[in-house]
Every structure is written in C-alpha cells, then in structure tokens.
C-alpha cells in the first residue's frame, strides 16, 4: 500500500533449503520443495503467511562441509537441490506471487574443491596462486596468531607447495584474496550472473572479513576465558577483519546492484560482542549496504530493557539513509522459541517476540519454522552432522539443533520427506505443525499471518517513525509508530503476570490486534491494565475506529 521499496516495507523469510521440503526422497530439501510451498508463504490471501522475500541459504554446488557455505561453483545449483532450470522456475513462480528471491553470497572464502583453489594450491607459479592468501610462515610456524572461528590457527600448512594458506573458518574454506583485482572482477561477475537471472538481492556472508591487514600483523590479545579454548576468542580482531578497503568494495558492489532496479544487499557482519559495527557499513553517504542485520536480539535476555537498548542503539546511531533489520533466529544460533522457553513460556513469548519484530521500524527476517514455534531439536553428538558446528558454535552443542526439518503436518517425517530426513525431525511435530495451526485462530501461525497482514496495510507500521514509551518500565516494552497523524501504539507485556502502563492518550484508542481481547475499553484513569504476556496493538486517533489505515 505504501509506495516504498520492498526491502524496507517487506518481510524476509530465511529458508535453509536442506530442511524445508524434500520432493526427491533423499531426505534433503530441494528447490522443487520450495516451489511447492510458495502458496503457503504468500498466495495473496489472508490464509497464507504473506512474506515478501525469501533468503535462500546457499544452494550452489558444494562438498557440503559447511552445508553450502563452502562453494565449489558460484554459477550453478547443487544437484541435491535442483539445477538452473528449476531455479529459473522458482524465480518465476515466486515473482508471480510477489515474492522476491535473495541469494546468499559467500565471498570471503570458497571451498577447497573450487577449481580456483585447486589451481592455486597446485604450484607457486600458477596464475591463480594469488587468488588466495598464501604465506611461507615464520621459522616453521604460522605467520601470525590469527585464529579460525572453528578453533585452532587460521593458517593451514599445505604440503604441495610448502606454504600456509589462510582459512578463517574450516580448513576446507580457504579465504579469497580480495586485494587481487582479478578476484574482485570474478566475484562481481558472479553477482551479475544472478542479477541477470532475476534475483532480487543478496545476503552477504561475513563480508567484513574480505580484507585482512596487508602486513599480516598479529591481533592484540583480549581477556576472555574462552580464549584458552579457542585463540580466536582471546583476541581483538583489528587485523583480520574490518579493514578500510571494505568500504570501497561495498560501494562498488552497491553501484553494481543499483544498476538493476529495486535490488538490494543485506550484510552479515561478523562480530562477537558489538554488532553496532554494522552501522558503519551503511556507507559514508548512501553508498554501502542497503541493510545490515542487527543481531543484538540474539543475545537479549527476556526483559524489555535488553530489547529497548538494542532498538535505541540502532534508532539513535543509524545514518539518515539507514534502515534497521531485526533478527530473532537464524541457522547459526539456538532458535528463539527455545531460548525463551523458560517455565514453558515459549508460546506466549513467541507471540510477543513476533509482535515486536513485525511492528518495529525496520525489516524483519524470519527463520523458517519460527512462525509455528519450532523449537531446537535435541541431537546426540553423533547426530550433529555439521563438522564445524561439532567443534564449536555454540560450544560443543553444534549448530544443527536449529536446522531440523520444517514441520508441515503430523505424517511421518512431519511431511518434510516421504522417506527419511538428514537430521531427526523434532518429535513435537505430532502436535506442532503447519496443518494443525493453519485453521486454529489461536495458533502462532495465525498470529503471524495477521501481524503480517496488518503491517502490510498500515503505513505507520511499515515506514512510520518509532518513539519508545516509558523507558524505565521493567516488564512492558511499549512504543508508538507514527506517520503524519496516523499513530499505532504497541504494548507488550514481557511478564507472565498482569502489569499496568501509564498512558496519557487524548485520542480514542482502537485495538487492531492482540492476544487477549479486541474491545476498545482499554484505558481507565490514564492506565492500561494488561494481562500476563499480553500483546496489544492499538490505533490512536480522533476517530480511531473508523479511520482508514
Ligand atoms: C556465516 C554463516 C555460517 C557459516 C560461516 C562461514 O557466519 O552464517 O553458517 O558457517 O559464515 O561461511
């Protein structure tokens, strides 16, 4: 309804393709499965989720050491997922439904099976030698103290030519040398390849690591007990990422992407402590990322103060042209349903979290299954397949717990596959699945559908400004969204007990959506009384009830 860019007003939905829907019976999801599910995601009616874009975790050919984040060919589709023809169909079918497609660009490193690396490692004189970062080492040791995210040194000794190569993730993911113009050229061509095939945007994997210090200086140490287990955690990462050259490359990427209409880039900023660094990458003028994920919520405890702080940090520090992008879950972290499931409060809290994410100023990215409250699946050490995840992230539990198959219905394998599944389905699928929630007006899925539909028709929610209300309330997070004279109030009770919020409203109030009631009599003596875990989304105005959104 608002004439604004889709990546500002829309809702992004992340699909981990291995886990979404398997149509070939190999126990791994595929592109045809995603095509089959498009109507569920958005068929234009209130009975579908209503999302605006799909971010596909990598589907390129890959040895799958890091499940696709180790790419061996940037310009094709892995046969386990389909092929380029099926991909074209996906883009086409998605576009017919108004759904955009965002590809994952893994440009910090390739797979060690990528032909570029095979050549590069084959001999010192090879023309691709300088496409990766090689070093002779110092006195028989790695050149510096840089550590891998997954433990150990980031330098891998390679017998073939007797030198080290740099690999910030697994040893099968050698880092590319972005200082070589031929590498930049080749990767920019990859972007053109996909843009020409109609993709609408890119998610940039750990982009702030592309450049490393030219002099290979060691990182200073930082006091962190985890540093004793993994050197990576005991360092200030000033030399192995966030180098100034990144700004120029991002601005060149931006020019490339902006040459195509209505395309975008959303960046994953690698950092452990301070995600606000991402703010720098919106560019010096409007020449950087269109969006940078805000990962603060991944660490927020279930108290309004944590969320409020994260929101304020971004609202106060974003450049004028910047736009926030909130995340509650993704394929690397424990699902938020489980993170917040203390005292079995998972479901009411999932509703509060959804209401928050979908009414804040900014673009929400949902992670498949969160709309039905999918929880972590408990895996034994043997069942954790992601080899890097096995070694670390988040510390020995691996990362696969959040990647269990989508729970479509209560048939065997939860309707994910007719045969088996690469990871065990969460046993709760028997009562928690799309089919049971689809027609239940009290379900989480229905709540998501209604929230997204409301957002879609309400300009204040899509692009209005945001003003936090009662910044000191310990249990209630409340804010107003406003565009011109149209105002929406969002009140979220984070406590399981009743709470009150002081509210001076000169106008009439009309409940648009909530968890506990739909009457308009919410104000008594300038106070709103909320039930435990209540969500209230209210329209404020002289004639709030009659007003047109
Ligand atoms: C990003 C991805 C993660 C992957 C890593 C290396 O952090 O989200 O899954 O392992 O980059 O590509």
Domains present along the chain, CATH in parentheses: 6-108+181-227+236-453 (3.20.20.80), 465-541 (2.60.40.1180)
For residue 2, pLDDT over 80 is answered with no
Tens of pLDDT, residue by residue over 53-76, are 999 999 999 999 999 999 999 999
**Single pTM value for the model:** 0.97
User: Which residue's alpha carbon is nearest to atom 7 within ligand 1?
Assistant: 206
Q: Which one of 65, 168, 169 would you pick to mutate in the ligand 1 pocket, going by the greatest count of ligand atoms within 8 A of its CB?
A: 169
Mean pLDDT of the region 200-221 = 98
User: What's the CA gap between 325 and 222, in Å, rounded?
Assistant: 29
With tokens 């060919």, the residue in question is 73
Pairing between strand 291-292 and 264-267? Answer: parallel
Q: Write the pLDDT tens digit of every residue in 77-88.
A: 999 999 999 999
**Do 272 and 258 form a contact (C-beta atoms < 8 A)?**
no
Look up residue 12 and give its two tokens. 């992004």
- Predicted confidence band of residue 517 (pLDDT cuts 50, 70, 90): confident
H or E element, residue 530: strand 527-530
C-alpha to C-alpha distance for 37 and 56, rounded to whole angstroms? 14
Phi-psi region of 327 (alpha: psi -120 to 50; beta: other; left: phi over 0): beta
**Alpha-carbon distances, residue 472 vs 301, 317, 413, 422, 476 (angstroms):** 16, 21, 46, 47, 9
C-alpha 319/C-alpha 53 separation (Å) is: 25
What is d(CA 391, CA 389) in angstroms, rounded to the nearest whole number? 5
Write down the pLDDT at residue 546.
65
State the distance from the centre of ligand 1 to the C-alpha of 69, rounded, in angstroms: 6
- Average pLDDT over the chain reads 93
Residue nearest to atom 2 of ligand 1 (CA): 205
| pLDDT, mean of residues 393-399 | 65
Residues within 6 Å of ligand 1 by CB: 66, 69, 106, 169, 205-206, 268, 331-332, 388
Q: Which residues of 399-493 form beta strands (DSSP E)?
A: 465-469, 476-483, 486-493
pLDDT in tens, 153-202: 999 999 999 999 999 999 999 999 999 999 999 999 999 999 999 999 99
**Cα 332 to middle of ligand 1, angstroms:** 7
Sign of CA dihedral 135, 141, 142, 145: negative
Question: What is the per-residue pLDDT across 456-471, written as a single tens digit (0 to 9) for each?
Answer: 999 999 999 999 998 8
The whole-number pLDDT of residue 549 equals 52
List, as one string, the DSSP characters of 60-105: SS---TTTTSS-S-TTS--TTT--HHHHHHHHHHHHHTT-EEEEEE
Query: Over the stretch 227-238, which tens digit does the pLDDT of each residue have?
Result: 777 788 899 999
Q: CA dist 243 to 5, 143, 180, 248, 436, Å?
A: 30, 19, 15, 10, 50
Chain segment 87-97, per-residue pLDDT in tens: 999 999 999 99
Number of C-beta neighbours around residue 217 at 10 A = 15
Nearest-CA neighbor of 7 among 64, 43, 48, 51?
Answer: 51
209: confidence class by pLDDT, cuts 50, 70, 90: very high
Look at residue 1 and tell me whether its pLDDT is greater than 50: no
CA of 267 to the centre of ligand 1 (A): 12
State CA 116 to chain mean position distance.
29
User: What integer is the mean pLDDT of 324-353?
Assistant: 96
Residue 446, pLDDT > 60, answer: yes
Atom of ligand 1 nearest to the CA of 330: 8
Check whether 543 has a pLDDT greater than 80.
Answer: no
Contacts of 300 (CB under 8 A, 6+ apart): 306, 307, 310
Q: DSSP letter string over 119-175?
A: HHHH-TT-TTGGGB-EE--BTTB-SS--B-TTSSBSEEEETTTTEEEE-SS-TTSPB
């Amino acid at each position: 309804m608002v004439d604004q860019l889709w990546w500002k007003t829309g809702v992004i939905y992340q699909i981990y393709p291995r886990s979404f829907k398997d149509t070939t019976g190999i126990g791994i999801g595929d592109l045809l499965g995603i095509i089959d599910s498009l109507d569920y995601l958005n068929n234009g009616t209130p009975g579908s989720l209503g999302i605006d874009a799909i971010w596909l975790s990598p589907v390129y050919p890959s040895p799958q050491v890091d499940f696709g984040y180790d790419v061996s060919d940037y310009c094709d589709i892995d046969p386990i997922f389909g092929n380029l023809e099926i991909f074209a169909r996906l883009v086409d079918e998605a576009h017919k439904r108004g759904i955009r497609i965002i590809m994952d660009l893994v440009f910090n490193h390739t797979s060690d099976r990528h032909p570029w690396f095979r050549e590069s490692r084959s001999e010192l004189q090879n023309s691709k030698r300088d496409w990766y970062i090689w070093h002779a080492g110092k006195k028989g040791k790695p050149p510096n103290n840089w550590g891998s995210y997954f433990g150990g040194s980031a330098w891998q000794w390679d017998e073939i030519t007797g030198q080290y190569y740099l690999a910030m993730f697994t040893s099968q993911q050698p880092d590319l040398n972005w200082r070589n113009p031929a590498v930049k050229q080749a990767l920019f061509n990859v972007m053109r390849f996909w843009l020409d095939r109609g993709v609408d945007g890119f998610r940039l994997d750990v982009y702030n690591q592309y450049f490393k210090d030219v002099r290979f200086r060691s990182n200073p140490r930082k006091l962190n007990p985890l540093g004793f287990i993994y050197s990576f955690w005991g360092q200030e990462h000033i030399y192995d990422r966030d180098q100034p050259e990144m700004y120029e490359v991002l601005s060149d990427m931006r020019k490339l992407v902006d040459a195509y209409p209505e395309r975008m880039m959303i960046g994953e900023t690698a950092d452990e402590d301070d995600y606000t660094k991402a703010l720098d990458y919106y560019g010096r003028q409007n020449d950087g990322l269109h969006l940078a994920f805000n990962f603060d919520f991944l660490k927020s405890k279930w108290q309004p103060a944590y969320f409020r702080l994260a929101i304020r940090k971004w609202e106060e520090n974003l450049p004028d042209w910047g736009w926030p992008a909130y995340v509650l879950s993704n394929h690397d972290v424990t699902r938020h349903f489980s993170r917040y499931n203390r005292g079995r409060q998972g479901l009411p809290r999932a509703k509060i979290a959804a209401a928050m994410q979908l009414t804040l100023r900014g673009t929400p990215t949902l992670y498949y299954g969160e709309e039905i409250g999918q929880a972590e699946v408990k895996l034994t050490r043997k069942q954790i397949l992601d080899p890097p995840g096995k070694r670390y992230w988040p510390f020995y539990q691996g990362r696969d717990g959040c990647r269990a198959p989508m729970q479509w219905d209560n048939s065997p394998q939860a309707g994910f596959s007719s045969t088996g599944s690469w990871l065990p389905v969460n046993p709760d699928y028997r009562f928690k699945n799309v089919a049971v929630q689809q027609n239940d007006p009290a379900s989480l899925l229905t709540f998501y559908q209604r929230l997204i539909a409301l957002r879609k028709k309400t300009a204040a929610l899509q692009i209005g400004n945001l003003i936090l209300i009662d910044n000191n309330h310990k249990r209630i997070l409340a804010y107003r969204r406003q565009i011109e004279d149209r105002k929406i109030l969002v009140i979220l009770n984070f406590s399981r007990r009743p709470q009150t919020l002081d509210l001076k409203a000169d106008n009439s109030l009309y409940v648009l959506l909530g968890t506990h009631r739909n009457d308009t009599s919410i104000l008594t003596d300038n106070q709103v009384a909320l039930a435990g875990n209540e969500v209230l989304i209210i329209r404020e105005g002289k004639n709030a009830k009659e007003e047109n959104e």
